[in-house]
Amino acid sequence: MEETTFIMIKPDGIQRRLVAPIIARFENRGFTLVAIKLVHASESLIDQHYAELTSKPFYPGLKQYMLSGPVVAMVWKGKSAAALGRAIVGATNPKESAPGTIRGDYCNDVGRNVVHASDSVESAKREIALWFKPEEIAHYAPCDLGWVYENVA
């Protein structure tokens, strides 16, 4: 079943010019990009996005980091997009991320882990709704779907 997921390249990923390599990881896996924008997020948006973390002791530092520069917010579509998106990104702690994952290849510290990926279908729906209006999400079928997935009509 196709689903959508939310992926965000964080300020350190922008500053390090990793946008194209990160996008390529998802395209190479066969995901379909259906929404993208460069955003300098507001405090309110960051607080809503990380609502479950606002009471944690590390949250002020996380919030300051997320407000330090623009992010690239994206919606990707594909089979098992949320689970596979997390697999492409790697473990939250880069020291636990396997080589070949984004964090395993580009990161050293949790506080500079380059990218966010929704951790579930439910989280993806909530995050997509925070960052994108429905009319900002494109609906189309790439011509190569039959080469990416089996049994596509």
Is residue 103 a known part of a binding site? Answer: yes
Mark whether 116 is an active-site residue.
yes
The two most distant CA atoms of the chain are separated, in Å, by 50
- Shortest CA distance to 22 belongs to which of 35, 39, 10? 10
Is residue 10 a known part of a binding site? Answer: yes
Asked whether the beta carbons of 13 and 21 are under 8 A apart, the reply is: no
Is residue 32 a known part of a binding site? Answer: no
Is residue 63 a known part of a binding site? Answer: no
Q: Which residues does 82 contact at the CB level (< 8 Å), separation at least 6?
A: 3, 5, 117, 118, 119, 120, 121, 123, 124
The rounded distance, in Å, linking the Cα atoms of 139 and 35 is 9
Is residue 125 a known part of a binding site? Answer: no
Is residue 132 a known part of a binding site? Answer: no
Asked whether the beta carbons of 41 and 66 are under 8 A apart, the reply is: yes
Query: Which residues contribute to the annotated binding site?
Result: 10, 58, 86, 92, 103, 113
Residues serving a catalytic function are 116
Query: Which residues contribute to the annotated binding site for ATP?
Result: 10, 58, 86, 92, 103, 113
